[in-house]
A and B are shown apart, each in its own frame.
Chain A
Amino acid sequence: MKDAIFTLKKVDKFYSDSNERVGIFDKLDMTIKDGEFCAILGPSGSGKTTLLNILGGVDTINSGEIWFRDTRIDNLNQSQLTRWRAQNVGFIFQQFNLISLLSAQQNVELPLLMTKLTRTERQRKVAAALELVGLTDRAKHKPAQLSGGQQQRVAIARALVADLPVLLCDEPTGNLDRDTSNEVLETLRLLNKDFGKSIIMVTHDQTAQSFARTSFRLDKGTFIEEVLLACA
């Protein structure tokens, strides 16, 4: 059995304004294994996006602990968190994952700018990643000139070059038609299988779920059940 990549211990999360308190998680315990491809399911408003935000360190919790491997991340300060995030997690949203002013290859190159790599080394890595997601011939295109699925694959290539162990995806195929969805999901599966990336994907889509090996169902904010799916 693999080690855990994320461990949540008795996590409480609520939003409160002046007179109301909206509870999202109440003493939530959860473990996601390293190298997993898991789907997060649940009705709208059940806290799926909130969970991804917490795992990615872009939202805070009210009590409990969040561990990434053997690092506790819920008590890191802003700059530690920024560094941790840049090294460990990539985000893929439903749409708008790219900087519209930059070409596909410039977008993919962004995380590499923070490393000590030279220009040529960066370009080599970018070219390799774009090839892997099948977009070599679109390297110089701006996001507006790419299809939705191609844009998602550019975002995936960006996560790939940064060599991030975790990819957090929020409805990555939500805006795409069936064929394009499949391209994106195949690319995610490739990253999971061949590169050992852990992928945590929120989705409503049946097909998307079938690509995952595990799924978590989030219901009424408190209850989670893990369903082991047959290996796809």
Chain B
Amino acid sequence: MSPAILSRLIYITLGNIFKRRWVSGTIVLASTLVVIVLVGFLSMSEGFRQALNNTGSENIAMLMSGQAQNEMNSQLTREQIELLQSAPGVKKLDGNTLLSSELSVIVGVRTRAENIKRNITLRGMTKYGPVLREGFKLTSGRMFSPGLNEILVGEKIAGEVKGLDVGNTLRLSGSDWTVVGTFSLAGNLFESEVWADLSSVQSAYNRHNQYQSARIALIDKDALFDLTLYSAEDIRLDLAVQSEKQYFSKQTEGMVNLVSYLAWPLAILLSIGTFTGIYNAMQISIDSRRREFVILRQLGFSRWGIFISVLFESLLCSVVGAGVGIGIALLVFDGFIATTMGSSFDSVSYSLSVNGSIALQAFLLSAIVGFLAVCIPAHRGVNQRLAL
């Protein structure tokens, strides 16, 4: 096909796009919608994954009972905690092992805005607990004191949950707790907790001498191996030893997978709708141009050339729609803060992230849908009877 023929066909095509705004608009809009949905979901899973990558240290070991998948199912004994005090490869401070034994319970609270019930984690920890969390910062007030019903509130939920202002008293499980401060964890997923002294939590919830997990600071990340060996060799221990990073990623991988597995089926479902929309719009458009095709073919234009120009027309609209969709998604989703339920912990917050690969995937999807949807109408259009 010569450039002259092609440029004239494209000229006609562009004219058609403007002349049949209803058809072009349908294609653009349908593509925009698919792209927004796909980008929305993919950026959600991407944001979640990113938040996770920033969470957890390799220099902190998490210990739980042998088969436990998460803290809630784990149980440690006092004897085990004491054995860990003399484990190898662990950091010391003032002659003490940097270890925090912990017990957490889920408590129901009410949100400030909608006044609906929501679960949060109340975590009892020993005095090194906060130090054993990277990025820990006391953002207001003071630490909780040992033996008292005092709580420290994570920044992310301080604003969302009723009654979590510093100085306030809160009734949880029959006892009163005073909010003494707030903390942040450099924005990681676990900033949505409420912390208190371990013994206070144990006695408030009648769990004396019960522990769920222990956290230990390692000299370096290779010391995890020494600790694992130490635990495996002592029959009284036999604990699941993992770095904090490993633990967090295990806790959230189901969530990440769920979101990304959901993204494509949903996008495909919507694509079928888009396909139908474009198909019908093009069918109508092409029917009304029957004459145009017949004239061009009688003048000697090839079927192939006309087919390509129709394809180009619909693809151009799809691509414009995809561009608009990606633009909107960038404006609306990128950096948007979302809250999702995690598996063992309560609510986690993270920001959505739109990147090049997500944009490309969405773009390709809409181009492919646009292409497939126009093929049949275009094929029918160029193969009509040429008779007058």
Contacts and interface: CB of A to CB of B under 8 A. Distances in A.
12 contacts: A58-B385, A59-B385, A83-B300, A99-B295, A106-B8, A110-B296, A111-B300, A113-B2, A114-B299, A119-B4, A158-B299, A162-B299
Contact of A102 (B12, B386, B388): B12
B298 A113 contact: no
Interface of B: 2, 4-5, 8, 11-12, 15-16, 19, 291-292, 295-302, 385-388
A11 interface: no
B273 to A, nearest CB: 30
B18 to A, nearest CB: 9
Contacts of A87: 300
A73 interface: no
Given A86-B299, A96-B291, 7 more contacts: A49-B388, A82-B300, A85-B300, A86-B300, A101-B16, A109-B8, A113-B5
A182 interface: no
A170 B300 contact: no
Interface string A191-228: 00000000000000000000000000000000000000
Given A91-B298, A96-B291, A98-B295, A110 B386 contact: no
Contacts of A100: 292
A141 to B, nearest CB: 15
A149 interface: no
A107 B16 CA distance: 15
A113 B8 CA distance: 8
Given A99-B12, A101-B12, A91 B388 contact: yes
A173 B33 CA distance: 50
Nearest to B298: A91
Contacts of B299: 86, 110-111, 114, 158, 162
Given A101-B12, A114-B5, A53 B295 contact: no
Interface string A100-128: 11100010011101100001000000000
Contact of A101 (B2, B4, B19, B385): B19
A222 to B, nearest CB: 21
Given A49-B388, A53-B387, A110-B8, A82 B16 contact: no
Nearest to B8: A113
A97 interface: yes
Contacts of B8: 106, 109-110, 113
A56 interface: yes
A102 B387 CA distance: 23
Nearest to B19: A101
Nearest to A102: B12
- Residue among B11, B16, B386, B388 having the largest count of chain A Cβ atoms under 10 Å: B388
Contacts of A170: 388
A93 B16 CA distance: 23
Contacts of A158: 299
A59 B302 CA distance: 17
- Residue among B15, B16, B299 having the largest count of chain A Cβ atoms under 10 Å: B299
A85 B298 contact: yes
Nearest to B13: A101
Nearest to B386: A58
Interface string A167-186: 00010000000000000000
A52 interface: yes
A50 B2 CA distance: 33
Top 7 closest A-B pairs, CB basis?
A86-B300, A101-B15, A58-B386, A53-B387, A113-B4, A59-B387, A113-B5
